[in-house]
Structure 1
Amino acid sequence: MNSIEANNCTIHFNENCYTALNQHLKSRNFSKVFILVDENTHQLCLPRFLEQLETSAAIEIIEIESGEINKNIDTCVGVWNTLSELNADRKSLLINIGGGVITDLGGFVACTFKRGIAYVNVPTTLLSMVDASVGGKTGVDLGHLKNQIGVISNPDMVLIDTQFLSTLAQNQMRSGLAEMLKHGLISDLKYWNKFQDLSKLSLDDLDALIYESVLIKKNVVDIDPFEDGLRKTLNFGHTLGHAIESYFLSHPDKKTLLHGEAIVIGMILACYISTVLTGFPKETTQNIKQLFIDYYGKETIDEADYQPIMDLLKYDKKNNHGNINFVLLEAIGTPKIDCLVDDAIILDAFEFYAS
C-alpha cells in the first residue's frame, strides 16, 4: 500500500513502515529515542518493533498502565519526570506504541515537553489505526470527561503495521470497527455497504478497509485541520457516545465500555434523532440499529441513567455559546453539523435504543 501524505505527516503501511522510520532516524540524528508503551504493548508489540529498528542512538523504554482510566494529567507528569530523569533534550524522539490512550497521551507529552519534541505514532489497535492515527489530536481526559485537555499537532509520521492486530481481543477489534462504520455513514454509501455482513469480514479484508478508512479521515482533516466545519462530521455518534462512555466509566454499578462500544450506541441514538430532525429514513435507522445490535449486542441503559448522561453533554468539545451541537445525517454520506436537539427528542432516542 502506498504511503499517505496528510498535513505534514506521512502515514506508512506494513512493509514501508520500518524502511521509512529507519531513514528518518538516520537523517534526523536524534540524540535519544524514547519508546512509550503500556504493559500489553511492551509484551506483545515491542519485541517485533525493536527487531526492525536501526539506530545508533540510545533507546529508553517508558511503560505506563493501560486503560482509559490512566489517560490523565497525572500519567503525563510521570512520563515528563521520567524523560527529564533520563536526560531527554530538544533533539530527542518519542515513539508511541499502543492504542489511542498511548498515542493521544504520548503525543501530548511530546508536544509539551521542553515546548515540543518530535514524536512518531505506532498505533497497534484497529481503533487507533483508523482514528487516532490521523489528524494530530493529542490530549488527556479531565477526570471522567473525555479529551478535555490537549493540542492539535501532527507527529513526524504514523506507522500502521497491521500485523499488530493479531494481538487484539475480539472486543478491541469490534471497538475499532465502530469508527470505520462511522466513516461509512458520514462519507460514502459504497464504503458503508461493504460492512453489511460483518460476520464475513476477515483479517485479509481489513488491510484494504483500513486504508480506505484512513483516506476518508485524511481527506476531511486536510480540508479542516482545526475542526471549524467539516471535521466536526467525524464526531457523528460521539456527542452522546462520549457522554455514555464517561457515565459508564464513572458509575460504580456500570461496566466500563470501550470507546467503540459507546460510540455504536451514540450512532444509533444520532440516527433516530436524524429521522426526527433531518428526514433521515426511518427504515434505514432501523436497519442500522439491527446491524449494530446483532454485532455488538445491547447495553442496559436504565431510564434513571438518561438525565445524568444528558447532563454530561455540556462538556462536549463541539459546544459553543451554550449550545450543544449534534452531528446528524440527512442520508448516508450526507452529514449535517451544528444541529440543536431538544431534550425530549434525546429521551425518545434512548427509548428507541431500549425498545
Structure 2
Amino acid sequence: MNSNTIRSTGYDVIFDDTLAELHQFIQHNSYSKILILTDRNTCTHCLPLLQDALPGFDGYDVIEVDPGEENKNIDFCVGIWRMMLDFGADRQSLLINLGGGVVTDMGGFTASTFKRGIDFVQVPTTLLAQVDASVGGKTGVDMDNVKNIIGTFAQPKAVFIASTFLRTLEKRQLVSGFAEVIKHGLIADRPFYEAVKELDATALSLEHIRHSVSIKNKVVTEDPLERGLRKILNFGHTIGHALEGYSLANDRNPLLHGEAIAAGMICEAYLAHRLNGLSEKALEDIINTFRRHFPDYSYTREIYDELLVLMKNDKKNAGNRIGFALPGAVGQCSIDVFVEESLIVESLDFYRKITT
C-alpha cells in the first residue's frame, strides 16, 4: 500500500489527482451497469473532469439531482431509485457518487437500500465531503429539518479523493469544509490543529487533506458503529446541526454545514469550559480561530425553543438527555456529556454576546 492510500473498514481511501486508480477499479470489476449520481453543479463542473481522467469511459448513465442540503430527503431518494429502475440497474450495478456531502450521503443511502444493496464508490468533490462525509460508512438523509435522522451504516467499495475538484468551488464552500479539518485537530491532534488554524482554506494541500482524513479514519475504524470513541467526531454538531436545521427552514441564505458547525463548536467549547475542564485560554483560542475563518451567525432568544426541539431529536441522545462530545483540552475529547437545558441556553447566550 502506498502513502497515498489509507486503509479503512473494508475499503481504501485513495488520494490521486489523476484518478487513474478509479479507472483501474472500473476496468478490473465487471459491473453490469454503471450509474453516476451528480447534482446540477457537479454535473456541469466536475463530470467533465472525471471524463477527462477516464479515457474511453463512456458506458454509464447519469442521475442528476438538485443541489443543496434542503434536497437531501426521502423524496429525492425515491426519484433516484426510480431512475435506477428506469436505467435497468440490478444487484451487479455500481453507483459512483460524484459530488459533495449531499450527494455522497444520499448516494450511499440509495445504493445501500436499492435491491437490498448495490456497490458504490465515493468521489467527493468538496473539501467537506473529502474530509468528512465520504469516510466512515455513514449514509443518510434529513427529515423535518433533523439532520441525517434516516440512514444506514454502509461501506463504499472505495473512496477516490482528488484535489482537482476543489478548484471548481467558490471560496465559501471551501471554507465550509475547513471547519471539519480544524475540528479533527481540536479533538485528536493538537499539532495538526496548531498548524492548520493559521492557514487560509485555499492554502490546504492534498497532504493536509490526507492527514485530516487519517485522523477521522483512525477513529471510525476503531469504532465503526459509533458505540464509543467515534462520538468525539460530533463535537460542535449537537448545537451546530440545530442551527443548520433552523437556518435551512427559515433563512433566505441558509448556513452551510461548516458555518453552522463552526458556531456550534464555539457554543460547545463554552460548555467544555464550564463542564469538562477546558481552560479559558483554550476557549479564547477556539473562539478566535473560528471567528477568524467563519462569519458570525445572528439569532435571537426567540428561536431557542425551536433549537432545543431539534437538539432533542438528535440521534446522539439517550432518553430525554441531550448528549455532547466536549474537549477537555485541545487534542482530546470526552463523549456522552449530557447537559442541562439551562446550560445549553447559557451557551447560546454566550455566542450571541461575543458576536454582537
Query: Which TM-score tier does this pair reach, normalised by the shorter chain?
Result: over 0.9
Q: How far apart are 1:198 and its partner, in Å? A: 3.2
Number of the residue aligned with 2:305:
307
Q: How far apart are 1:278 and its partner, in Å? A: 1.0
Preserved contact between residue 30 and residue 57 of structure 1 (Cα < 8 Å): no
Number of the residue aligned with 1:18:
19
Number of the residue aligned with 1:51:
52
| Residue number among 8, 11, 16 corresponding to 1:9 in the alignment | 11
For residues 301-326 of structure 1, the C-alpha deviation after alignment (integer angstroms, 9 at most, x for no partner) is 21212222112111111112322111
3-state SS of paired residue (2:123): strand
**Which amino acid in structure 2 is aligned with residue 240 of structure 1?**
I
Preserved contact between residue 37 and residue 62 of structure 2 (Cα < 8 Å): yes
3-state SS of paired residue (1:336): strand
Number of the residue aligned with 2:286:
288
For residues 213-254 of structure 1, the C-alpha deviation after alignment (integer angstroms, 9 at most, x for no partner) is 000000000100000000000000000100111111112x56
Q: How far apart are 1:20 and its partner, in Å? A: 2.0
Q: How far apart are 1:297 and its partner, in Å? A: 2.1
Number of the residue aligned with 1:231:
230
3-state SS of paired residue (1:256): coil
Q: 4+ runs of 1 displaced by more than 6 Å?
A: none
Preserved contact between residue 31 and residue 57 of structure 1 (Cα < 8 Å): no
CA distance in 2: counterparts of 1:128 and 1:10, whole angstroms: 16
Preserved contact between residue 171 and residue 202 of structure 2 (Cα < 8 Å): no
CA distance in 1: counterparts of 2:33 and 2:285, whole angstroms: 52
CA distance in 1: counterparts of 2:23 and 2:292, whole angstroms: 44
For residues 156-202 of structure 1, the C-alpha deviation after alignment (integer angstroms, 9 at most, x for no partner) is 11110101000111110111000011101100110110123234x64
CA distance in 1: counterparts of 2:20 and 2:316, whole angstroms: 39
3-state SS of paired residue (2:19): helix
3-state SS of paired residue (2:205): helix
**Which amino acid in structure 1 is aligned with residue 4 of structure 2?**
N
Matched residues, percent identical? 44
Number of the residue aligned with 2:276:
278
Q: How far apart are 1:114 and its partner, in Å? A: 1.0
CA distance in 1: counterparts of 2:332 and 2:87, whole angstroms: 50
Number of the residue aligned with 2:83:
82
Larger CA deviation: 289-298 vs 130-139? 289-298
Number of the residue aligned with 1:124:
125
**Which amino acid in structure 2 is aligned with residue 99 of structure 1?**
G
Number of the residue aligned with 1:143:
144
CA distance in 1: counterparts of 2:59 and 2:288, whole angstroms: 52
Number of equivalent positions: 351
CA distance in 1: counterparts of 2:290 and 2:93, whole angstroms: 44
| Residue 63 in structure 1 maps to residue 64 in structure 2 | yes
Number of the residue aligned with 1:240:
239
Preserved contact between residue 94 and residue 118 of structure 2 (Cα < 8 Å): yes
Larger CA deviation: 17-26 vs 76-85? 17-26
3-state SS of paired residue (1:340): strand
CA distance in 1: counterparts of 2:60 and 2:270, whole angstroms: 51
TM-score, structure 2 normalization: 0.95
CA distance in 1: counterparts of 2:39 and 2:261, whole angstroms: 24
Cα distance change, pair 51–270 in 1 and its aligned pair in 2 (3 A): same
1:189-338 → structure 2 map (5 Å cutoff): 189-199=190-200, 202-203=202-203, 205-251=204-250, 253=251, 255-338=253-336
Preserved contact between residue 134 and residue 159 of structure 2 (Cα < 8 Å): yes
Number of the residue aligned with 2:107:
106
CA distance in 2: counterparts of 1:44 and 1:202, whole angstroms: 18
CA distance in 2: counterparts of 1:92 and 1:6, whole angstroms: 23
Listed as ranges, the gaps of 5+ residues in structure 1 are none
Q: How far apart are 1:340 and its partner, in Å? A: 1.3
Preserved contact between residue 4 and residue 16 of structure 2 (Cα < 8 Å): no
Q: How far apart are 1:58 and its partner, in Å? A: 2.8
TM-score, structure 1 normalization: 0.95
Preserved contact between residue 281 and residue 331 of structure 1 (Cα < 8 Å): yes
**Which amino acid in structure 2 is aligned with residue 275 of structure 1?**
H
CA distance in 2: counterparts of 1:155 and 1:97, whole angstroms: 13
Q: How far apart are 1:287 and its partner, in Å? A: 2.0
